Structure 1
Amino acid sequence: MTERKPCRVCNFTRQKSYGLVVPSLDELKIKGCEFLGFSPSNQVTVVLEDDGTIVEDQAYFLCLPSNTKFMLLHEKESWSPVRRVDGGTAWMARDSVMLEADTVDASSAVAPWWDLAQQLKQDLTSIILMSETDLQTLVDAPCPELASALGFQEKRAEDLQETLQRVLDRREEERQSKELLQLYLKAVEKEDTRQDEPSQPSQRGPGDVDLPDGMEVDSASGFMSRTLMVLKGKTSPETRLSTEDLQMVVTRGVEAMEQVLGWDRTRTSALLQACEAELTRRLQQIQAVQSIRSNTQLDSSQQCSVNSTEEGEETPAQGSN
């Protein structure tokens, strides 16, 4: 029997939010549409509410921690981040409906990091799936209050925040290294072009202007320009893509990516196979961490049982003396 997963769903405005317990991604779509008042005939896309990651794979859905929040989108709707205005208090009004639906005590919603702390309290490995915004929110949370929410000692909560800050620092270093590499590859490509066509005048049109990496979205493909540059790179592009980009590439399929990249079927298929393998590897890492955590909890409970049995056997012996 498939394990049923507790989760939450909301619409793209985040004005409606409901708690569900479902065994599969398809059941999430069906029940989510029913609760949110969507027509059963409408096609919906499921994304993660916090960062917009598209969720279309059942295996990936099962890897997500309990109480993950999903957003259901119609064909013409798109995900956007939470916009906090009015001194950072607008989120309180927006979340009022969600808190009522989830039956959460209103006193626990006084800070935006509270839900993240509750998620960590249930499953510490959910850190792997958190966005940089979520991690920064936890780092900025008051240490004593965070410790209380997690049920930790204050020193342990402080160590957790230091670890999260190191994760953010490492991601920033990786991003800077990737940008430097992309600039280098771009310069090499331009140099090769000049060497191949030394006598040809520039054929650049008025619209062919170099754009900053990652600042524009290609209207035909829907990919960020930075992502397209990485995909067309010469060395293992799948290892330099985010999990969200990998999911998007795999979901598009070979035929669609042929048109996006302008490659032949063999080369495109090889790229998609590499992206799918990298996505599977990352999901297996998450499953391995969760498995280690479960085994650790099981060993602890077994040890407590053994200790209780040994104490029970020693008590009669002392009484006979």
Structure 2
Amino acid sequence: MAEVKPCKVCNFSRQKSYGLVVSSLDQLKVKGGETLGIAPEKPVSVVLEDDGTIVEDDAYFLCLPSNTKFMLLHGKEAWGPTNKIDGGTAWLSRESVALDGDEVDMMFSGTDTWQSLAAQLKQDLASIILLSDSQLQTLMDVPCANLASALGFQQKKAQALQDTLQTVLDRREESRQSKELLQLYLKTVESEREQEASQEAGGDVMDETDGMEVDSGSGFMSRTLMVLKGKTSPETRLSNQELQMVVNKGAASMEQVLGLEADRTATLVQACEAELEGRLQQVQALKSLSAQSQQASDALTTEDTNQSQAKRSK
């Protein structure tokens, strides 16, 4: 079951605000839209209520702390700062509310001036964890001297900050790649299980109905012998167990079993051995990557938790 996250949603005028529990960004859009009275067929954009940062993917959404407040926008609605005098609605009268299509696209493009991002970090360095990948890259592209001036840092400290931003980006990318490799590993394992189950079931059926019995002399099923005598990469059509049997018997024994020329049999056995070794290496590599992925994910989670706690303590 996916982990759920308590959060808050409001509309663009901040006149409606509700608490929700969701497990993904898509669920936030659906449940939040229903709660705020937005028609299901209308596309919805999600931004952080306090600074208008656009939330584009689940990876960033899941990094945010519980009870984060989001603003749901649709149509030509746009985020605006809170006005403490009138409750945040005076900005609706600005001419910029009547935006054309190009202006809306620019506002929703996720581009931020580096000065505004620097001002946000100056107030709270722990907010680095809340920045999107594009925002981190924006700050990294700023000349170090300019960033130092905006933050009131020495240039050496600003350079250390940019190095930290790069580290955060690298870890996010490593986490994404590790998850993808883990998914590939799990898919490969499941595929092999299904293939072996299918071959076992198919072998039983053929033994009963089509006479595909086990050859008493060789120990191979007749289906396996037919595959081995095929001309187009027969090693790729065999299970790991069948490949191991061929390798264990060796070229001399397989020559007698298959009744093929010595050269062709030796080449076939070598191909089976290479195929089996390749499959085992792939599984071992994926297992290693899975372990590294878990370690990286645990380290990133610990660091994120520490930064979130530091932010709350401030």
TM-score where L is the length of structure 1 = 0.38
